[in-house]
Chain A
Amino acid sequence: MRYSALALLRGALTGQRHWTPAWRDPEPKPAYDTLIVGGGGHGLATAYYLAKEHGITNVAVLEKSHIGSGNVGRNTTIIRSNYLLPANTHFYEKSLQLWEGLEQDINFNAMVSQRGVLNLYHSDAQRDAYARRGNAMRLAGVDAELLDAAAVRAMVPGLDMDNARFPVKGGLLQRRGGTVRHDAVAWGYARAADQRGVDILQNCEVTGIDIAQGRVVGVQTARGPIRARRIGLAAAGNSSRVAALAGLRLPIESHVLQAFVSEGVKPVLDTVVTFGAGHFYVSQSDKGGLVFGGDIDGFNSYAQRGSLPVVHDVMESAVALFPAFSRLRVLRQWGGVMDMSMDGSPIIGTTPIAGLFLNCGWCYGGFKATPASGWCFAHTIATGAPHPLNAAFTLDRFRTGAVIDEKGAGATPNLH
């Protein structure tokens, strides 16, 4: 069924009885050409682009829980491509371009809203760093504008511009950045992949990876064994656990990141704002709630809940930046398990095991990457070699030293 305004109108006249499930719930087949382990945004996008770009439709996505239960339904929905290092700039710009055409492509309203992403700076040194990053972006063909304090004041009323400790001196604005309805991304990709013949197998946890003579031949799952010659792992926070089934030890630590939503209020913030003196980012959803977050908790965790010191820290940042927010109540708070890599950049590529491909290390920046991650991973799986856009994101770069460390923090997963 194709979604359109006309179909909606026609449904209105017939009691809306035309709705069908957005995707099938098939039984697992004994064998597929390609398996994707992990039915999050990246796994579903990979399956979709495998079918669309490469004509590989005998594909199953194996999800241990239900679609939308992991980080694709747990993030703060921000999209942007304001990175400094060339590999990241080009990759995330591809992602932003795919976001711009996504809804028409998958025939699903993902509420892509290019409301801008504004990174605030609070000192001369930070302005110089932002100017450098903005120039790097513009050289790569990405939009960036450096705003002074007056322009920020006019754009975002409510900011504590003249804070005694961290006055706002200006900001780096990417107007094409913004937010996307995160659940719709999972549902939209699931539906679009399903329509092209991909089987989405929920409650199908992978419990073993079968390897014969150095190449993958299939997996053991909660719903029985499934054979396949190509397997892509896109298990986010559980990547180390899944890779261990194939005997791999990854440069990944799992950490918990929290996010928060306030009670709904009238429109107060029409862009995405990030605090340059702490780690804090906030936007307002169409429902009216402020959606915001900060740092990861900082210690290894597989628990999808956070601890109180970080809650405290995030609230302090919120109130330091927008004093009026102190009157709001926080409605919901939750945590997701992040695959923190050793250089803060992702891994999309091949592994030492033939037929086994790896997609992980998203470091709580994975949502914005969803389309390009799926697009590049599909290319890598279909052709057996990375696309130029993800050629730098190899698993091997940690061994060779060609790391992509945007922050310059070194091999410290809890500090990226």
Chain B
Amino acid sequence: MRLPCPCCGVRGNEEFTYLGPAGLVRPAPDATEDAWHAFMHERENLAGNHRELWWHGQGCRAWIVVTRDVRTHRIEHAELARDPEAAR
């Protein structure tokens, strides 16, 4: 599998470190147990497009948000995580 880094172009996935799903928002420290449980543990994990965070540690060292079909590894989209629309 190769990932299209917005800075470096298409690179092998061994250059990247995977974090997990994008868009998980850390709850406030005094949030309910349910909110923390949902953030820490509960995942949608469906077979289809998945928005996820990768770190290009052996390249530009940027965090990128990749939208990938987890059934086929087809990449729909990749953007820098610092871009405001990626924070959705």
Same complex origin of A and B: yes
Residues of A whose CB lies within 8 Å of any CB of B are: 238, 240-241, 244, 249-254, 298-303, 307-309, 312, 342, 398-399, 411-414
Q: Are B70 and A302 closer than 8 Å at their CB atoms?
A: yes
Q: Does B31 contact A (CB under 8 A)?
A: no
CB-defined interface of B66-82 with A at 8 Å, one 1/0 digit per residue?
00001111000000000
User: Inside 8 A of B20's CB, which chain A residues have their CB?
Assistant: 253, 300, 412-414
Looking at the assembled complex, report how far the CB atom of B44 sits from the nearest CB atom of chain A, in whole angstroms: 7
**B residues within 8 A CB of A298?**
18
Q: A309-B12, A399-B37 are in contact. Are A302 and B71 (CB under 8 A)?
A: yes
Indicate if the CB atoms of A299 and B71 lie closer than 8 Å: no
* B33 near A399: Cβ-Cβ < 8 Å: yes
Given A254-B70, A309-B14, A414-B18, check contact A302 B40 (CB 8 Å).
Answer: no
* Across-interface contacts of A240 in B (CB, < 8 A): 43-46
**B56 in the interface (beta carbon within 8 A):** no
A312 and B43 CA atoms in complex are apart in Å by 30
Q: How far is the CA of A249 from the CA of B34 in the complex (A)?
A: 12
Give the total number of A-B pairs whose CB atoms are below 8 A apart.
Answer: 71
Whether the Cβ atoms of A241 and B47 lie closer than 8 Å is yes
Specify which of B18, B46, B72 is in contact with A303 (CB 8 Å cutoff).
B72
Query: B residues touching A (Cβ–Cβ < 8 Å)?
Result: 1, 12-14, 18, 20-21, 33-34, 37-38, 40-47, 50, 52, 54, 70-73
Of all chain B residues, the one with the shortest Cβ separation from A309 is B14
Q: How far is the CB of B26 from chain A (nearest CB, A)?
A: 13
**Which residues of the other chain, B, contact A412 by a CB distance below 8 angstroms?**
20
Evaluate contact between B18 and A251: CB separation under 8 angstroms. no
CB atoms of A398 and B37 under 8 A apart: yes
8 pairs, CB–CB < 8 Å, chain A vs chain B: A249-B42, A249-B43, A250-B43, A299-B18, A303-B72, A308-B12, A309-B12, A312-B14
User: Quick check: A303 and B40 within 8 Å, CB to CB?
Assistant: no
Beta-carbon contact of B52 and A300 below 8 Å: yes
Contact between chains at B47 and A302 (CB < 8 Å): yes
User: Across the interface, which residues of B come within 8 angstroms of A413, CB to CB?
Assistant: 20
Contact A342 B40, CB 8 Å, known A240-B45, A250-B45, A300-B70: yes
Are A398's CB and B41's CB within 8 A? Answer: yes
From A238, A300, A398, B50 is in contact (CB under 8 Å) with A300
Q: How far is the CA of A342 from the CA of B43 in the complex (A)?
A: 10
Chain B residues with CB under 8 Å of A301's CB are 70, 73
Q: Are B1 and A307 in contact (CB under 8 A)?
A: yes
Question: Please, how many angstroms separate the alpha-carbon atoms of A413 and B52 in the complex?
Answer: 14
Cβ of A300: which chain B residues have Cβ within 8 Å of it?
Answer: 20-21, 45, 50, 52, 70
In the complex, besides A299-B13, A302-B70, A399-B41, 12 extra interface pairs with C-beta distance below 8 angstroms are A249-B38, A249-B42, A253-B43, A298-B18, A299-B52, A300-B21, A301-B70, A302-B71, A303-B71, A308-B12, A312-B14, A398-B40
A308-B70 Cα distance, complex, nearest whole Å: 16
Instruction: Report the separation of the CA atoms of residues A333 and B86 in the bound assembly, to the nearest whole angstrom.
Output: 36
Chain A residue contacts of B70, Cβ below 8 A: 254, 300-303
B43 / chain A contacts, CB cutoff of 8 Å: 240, 249-253
